[in-house]
Amino acid sequence: MSASTPALGHAIDISSTTPTPFLRLVRVEMRKAWDTRAGLWLLLSTALLCAAVMVIQLAVGITQADVFLTYNSFLTSTNFSIGVLLPVIGIMLLTSEWSQRTAMVSFSLEPRRPRVVLAKLVVGLVLAVAAVAIALILATLCNAVYGVLSDDPTVWNASVAHTSGFVLLQVIGMLTGFAFAALLLNTPAAIVIYMVYSFVLPGLFEIGAQLMDWFDSIRPWIDFNNAQNPLVDATMTGKDWAYFATSGLIWLVVPLAIGFWRVLRAEVK
């Protein structure tokens, strides 16, 4: 007795299946972002850390006469707090499928992997914008309280350029974490690599630029962290945008493209 079986590695025919509506995929991925204890506490920690930084800054500004704060001062102070945790959220959006062994279920319910990955990416962008919105609200409240409790005038100096740069910084951070996650498909490894990229690599670039003149001349073109600094104070020039685009291609676009390709072909266990 014999039976015909499909050849090993034979591609699954998905042409006759109905795609899951994309908005439904986004809603599912959004719920998965906070439906675990790790995801929920990471989201809460991001908001609480942002608030804590501003409250400490407000207390210092009120008690220290030589400290003068503005709206942009409160907003800029959250770059570090949000910039550290938001990329981790981007990492866990993707790597959780492999660490929690849910990838087989996700890709079985929707075998078109690009749609699932894009849904996760949309959720990451939504969370980045939500984090920015929370920071803007907290900065507004703290600056208003500072104007009432201190002797200094209230200054609302965050221009469109400052706010746009702040939004772009957070989106880039999330996308960079997402790219490393796609490359490695492992939560601890992706987090470690991102921390090295964010906190160790800039120091190595700085040392190399001081010791080698030829490296100092090419550093602006390959140091993506340094290229983002003018976004903080809205001083981007044409040359700065060229540095930003070139280094971003190296550290963001290429890893994201390779990672996306890897996710589409990764073995699901």
| pLDDT of amino acid 3 | 47
Asked whether 75 and 136 are in contact (CB, 8 A), the reply is: yes
Alpha-carbon span 256 to 195, nearest angstrom: 17
pLDDT at 175 over 90: yes
Is residue 107 in a domain?
Answer: yes
b/e 198-230 (16+ beta carbons within 10 angstroms → b): beeeeeebeeebeeeeeeeeebbeebbebbbeb
pTM comes to 0.84
Structure tokens at 66: 């030589």
Structure tokens at 234: 């809205």
* Stretch 101-127: mean pLDDT: 86
Is residue 65 in a domain?
Answer: yes
Is residue 175 in a domain?
Answer: yes
More confident residue, 32 or 99: 32
pLDDT at 148 over 80: yes
The per-residue pLDDT for range 16-37, each reduced to its tens digit, is 567 788 899 999 888 888 877 7
| pLDDT of amino acid 149 | 87
* Stretch 131-142: mean pLDDT: 90
Asked whether 57 and 77 are in contact (CB, 8 A), the reply is: yes
pLDDT band at residue 145 under the 50/70/90 scheme: very high
Is residue 6 in a domain?
Answer: no
Is residue 7 in a domain?
Answer: no
Domain that holds residue 90: 22-265
* Stretch 8-17: mean pLDDT: 51
Is residue 137 in a domain?
Answer: yes
Q: Mean of the per-residue pLDDT values for the chain?
A: 85
Asked whether 90 and 178 are in contact (CB, 8 A), the reply is: yes
Is residue 74 in a domain?
Answer: yes
pLDDT at 69 over 80: yes
The number of distinct structural domains making up the chain is 1
pLDDT band at residue 192 under the 50/70/90 scheme: very high
